[in-house]
Structure 1
Amino acid sequence: MEQKQVVRLVIADDHAIVREGIRMLLSEQADIDVVADVADGRAALEAVARLRPDVVLMDLGMPGMNGIDATRAICRDFPGTQVLVLSMYSGEEYVRPAIRAGASGYLLKGTAFSELQAAIAAVARGGAFFSPAIAKLVLVDSRRRESHPADALTNRESEILRLVAQGQSSNQIARDLGLSMKTVEGHRGRIMAKLDVHHLAGLVRYAVRAGLVSPDP
């Protein structure tokens, strides 16, 4: 019989009773090893750097470094560790930033223990897992992104996107197109809003997919 892989897990939550309760439940599972529990995002990041767990079970509303900032840092610096959010918050103002930060899953604290087990196993394998209410929001966001083809941009916006993707600054673009800096920045903001992209790398990737610029050889 094939032996199950043991998932090494860190719990990050500022409520001691929550950490202790989850740790006690998970410690009874032969395929999960809770290697640390911590009370804030900074401590979670330090635990990941020291222990390199497979999964961090991450609360969002913690003092000091919050769960979203900790998730972003972990996903950026330690790609071998997956983050599974366990939060009492289901609002899009929490869900969207957590997913954009790199979380592989998002569960609500009212979830059943069996669902928590399934979520940990899924994200440890490199998959994703969301509570039903969260999955609906993720699906809506996915469909919204798919509804933004290149022709959602005006000709001027496409031109500015192409120049941005080629590495030109707003000042250069304004000079080349005979526009004011304020106008260029306004166009750039609308481009980001339409494409739901919030950083330069995302704009470059979109411009390549849309055929506005060629990928580097």
Structure 2
Amino acid sequence: MTAPEPADERIRVCLVDDHAVVRRGLRSYLELVDDVEVVGEAADGRAALDLVAALVAEGEPPHVVLMDLLMPGTDGVTATRLLTQRYDGIAVMAMTSYSEVDRIRGALEAGASGYLLKDAEADQVVDGIRKARRGEMPLGAAVSRQLARAFSAPGRAVAEPLTAREHEVLVLLAAGLSNREVASRLVISERTARTHVSSILDKLGLRSRTQAALYAVHQGLVPVTPR
């Protein structure tokens, strides 16, 4: 398990799952973790959006939302997309029973910061919460294996090698930095950072920053601790 956050930086977490027993189990364990505080629960995506909006209005937004994907009404992927579009600084970590590549990609493309399966051990969930809070990308072992196979499939060869600068930008993208943060870190303009990102996507044949980040992870450019 990763080291806990400092005592004065408790991680505020929301639990979203249509099964009350799952929420109750997660809450029971997380309440024993010193640096984590469960600040709300929701049984579907719509309720999750309302819950987060209320917490934001109170000035106490959650840091991490644990999001089930398959729920009645507004599903977890839709809720994830809306949450990440509306709020900066809130990480959504998908938790589901399904490890198919399309489902994983769907959640990550929607903005999820990570993806764990529901059979993960409790301490692995806590590790995931801490990683998501730090802007890392927690992925379970089965998820990592699925993505590794997908990214090693035929057609993934890079048509043109990345420049040294593009390599630096790719690593920073995978660490979760925005274009502005990449520009600041590398002492370049934000416009130049955007140009580098576009070039990286074009060379790798990818469609989004999330796919670029996953590519970097599974090329070993950034660490993801598998479970």
Q: How would you bin the TM-score normalised by the shorter chain? A: 0.5 to 0.7
Q: Distance in 1 between matches of 2:53 and 2:138?
A: 24
Q: Distance in 2 between matches of 1:143 and 1:46?
A: 40
Alignment of 1:51-130 (within 5 A): 51=55, 52-130=61-139
Identify the structure with bigger relative contact order (alpha carbons < 8 Å, sequence gap 6+): 2
Unaligned runs of 5+ in 1: 152-191, 203-217
Secondary structure, in 3 states, of the residue corresponding to 2:32? Answer: coil
Code of the aligned partner of 1:92: V
Identity score, percent: 36
TM-score, length-normalised on structure 2?
0.63
Q: Distance in 1 between matches of 2:82 and 2:149?
A: 26
Higher share of residues assigned helix: 1
Report the equivalent of 1:195: 205
Q: Distance in 1 between matches of 2:205 and 2:54?
A: 38
What do the CA deviations read for 1:122-152 (whole angstroms, capped 9, x no partner)?
Answer: 001111100011112334455669635369x
- The Cα RMSD (Å) is 2.5
Equivalenced residue count is 157
Q: Distance in 2 between matches of 1:73 and 1:147?
A: 33
Q: Distance in 2 between matches of 1:65 and 1:150?
A: 41
- State the 4+ residue runs in structure 1 displaced beyond 4 angstroms: 140-146
Q: Distance in 1 between matches of 2:84 and 2:159?
A: 28
Q: Distance in 2 between matches of 1:94 and 1:111?
A: 17
Contact 2:80 2:92 in 1 (8 A): yes
Alignment of 1:149-160 (within 5 A): 149=159
Q: Structure 1 residue 50 and structure 2 residue 54: aligned? A: yes
Code of the aligned partner of 1:130: L
Unaligned runs of 5+ in 2: 1-5, 56-60, 162-201, 212-227
C-alpha distance 47-149 of structure 1, shift in aligned 2 (>3 A):
farther
Larger radius of gyration: 1
TM-score, length-normalised on structure 1?
0.66
Code of the aligned partner of 2:21: I
Q: Distance in 2 between matches of 1:79 and 1:146?
A: 32
Q: Distance in 2 between matches of 1:39 and 1:128?
A: 25
Deviation at 1:84, TM superposition (A): 0.7
Report the equivalent of 1:27: 31
Deviation at 1:57, TM superposition (A): 0.3
